[in-house]
A and B are shown apart, each in its own frame.
Chain A
């Protein structure tokens, strides 16, 4: 974050994500919550792009803001929408214990932040000799996108496992969703 503009943008996006995350929990109407949750995903996607991770940003935008929202909309279309479902939930209905747990988890996570290396710092473990090897070797092999190279060329076994997980999860979900797919 050398440029102040990037720092400003990151702060604005983080603030937006935080507000939208809290709103997702607080709005009464489920449809509003789904839309607000999509905005949360979109804000995160922007943050990923800002942090030089466009591959993750693309995934977040398509899966988080796009597909998940569509699946949620389909799911809530089978529910009944109360007539007076507007605004924020009654704050008195929130259990103090839940707030306490959320607060403690947040503080515990925040306590780990100082031990993270600074953004872009040269001694970050990610900038070790392995990263240099990946960058030069993948370019030499003609795969310019180092992310793809790591996923398929150097960590192909893991990615094979991931595809198997997607496949297995899909088979399981389709089986649970009812009758076998009629052709």
Chain B
């Protein structure tokens, strides 16, 4: 049993996912950046974006997608949420207010932009955590999907080989 099989993809699945990906990622970013104006926020936007990356991995090959993702960047994104939150919270103290007091920040529309900064941080953390978990679990995953269905058993793989 080889760990690197030739990846045979279904044209229907790959085409659908390719067409869908830009729209879903855009929607995820919209949800992330528009958390103060409309439905959603950092958590939702991050999860939608991460779910799209996971879908891409299922359609285009888990190992290929995992190899394409830079883990240093992912780890930096994981740290972004607590870091940004802490910085914004302490900025309130530095500006003469209380911990997490946003309306004293010396920027226009301080509450809105402070909230947005925190939301973007949360989105980065959530998206990176989901993708990293997926990549880590996929690492122990011995046989790349040959048909994108994820249902091939060891027996089926052996009989194919």
Contact = CB atoms under 8 A, between A and B. Distances in A.
B155 A80 contact: yes
B115 A148 contact: yes
Contacts of A144: 36-38
B51 interface: yes
Contacts of A73: 58, 150
Interface string A157-179: 10110011011011001100110
B112 A143 contact: yes
A166 B109 contact: no
A120 interface: no
A142 interface: yes
Interface in A114-156: 141-145, 147-149, 151-153, 156
B137 A59 contact: no
B51 A66 contact: yes
A54 B31 CA distance: 12
Interface residues of B, number: 64
> Interface residues of B: mostly helix, strand, loop or mixed?
helix
A163 B115 contact: no
Contacts of A151: 41
A131 to B, nearest CB: 18
7 contacts: A70-B134, A73-B150, A152-B114, A156-B102, A163-B81, A163-B125, A170-B129
A92 B57 CA distance: 40
A142 B107 CA distance: 14
Contacts of B86: 160
A163 B132 contact: no
Contacts of B130: 67
Contacts of B136: 173-174, 177-178, 181
A95 interface: no
A149 B115 contact: yes
B138 interface: yes
A141 B55 CA distance: 38
Interface in B115-161: 115, 118-119, 121-122, 125-126, 129-130, 132-134, 136-143, 145, 150-155
Please list the 5 inter-chain residue pairs (A to B) with the smallest Cβ-Cβ separation, ordered nearest first: A66-B51, A62-B47, A170-B129, A177-B136, A73-B150
